[in-house]
Amino acid sequence: MNEHDGSPAGAAQKLPRLAERYPITEEDQAKWTRIYLPDGPDGSLSQFPRKDKRKAFVLRHIAASFEPNRTYTEKEVNELLKRYWAPDFVAIRRYLVDWGFLTRTDDCQIYRLNDSHDR
């Protein structure tokens, strides 16, 4: 853990590369919004993508629902994520943390949007 902000050790070094590794064009965004969010940006996902580039798009979209500089309890995070993917919101939460969109305390009680992440 990073002693300054509670983020996973080394996360800050990996994050800027996400946009480089998975560049998402406006065309990709429009196409994947139709596929994965057919009811619009505030609707739930029709499916969760398997390919990493599409996962990056979906996770960026979901991460945008979190307010910067706000802490969330695990219950609050779960409720927000159920709106997008109720069948397995726990997996979405795990992806958001593993991919660096969210940070959490060691006891997994408090979550926060990772301000250093390249969205």
Tens of pLDDT, residues 21-31: 889 999 999 99
Which amino acid, 91?
A
Domain 24-113 has CATH 3.90.550: no
Q: Which of 113, 101, 115, 119 is nearest to 71 (CA)?
A: 113
Parse the chain into domains and list their residue ranges.
Answer: 24-113
Let me know: does 85 contact 48? Beta carbons within 8 Å.
yes
Task: Give 33-84 pLDDT, tens digit per residue.
Answer: 999 999 999 899 999 999 999 999 999 999 999 999 999 999 999 999 999 9
Nearest C-alpha neighbor of 118 from the set 65, 67, 69, 56? 56
Question: Could you give the CA distance from residue 25 to residue 5 in angstroms, rounded to a whole number?
Answer: 31
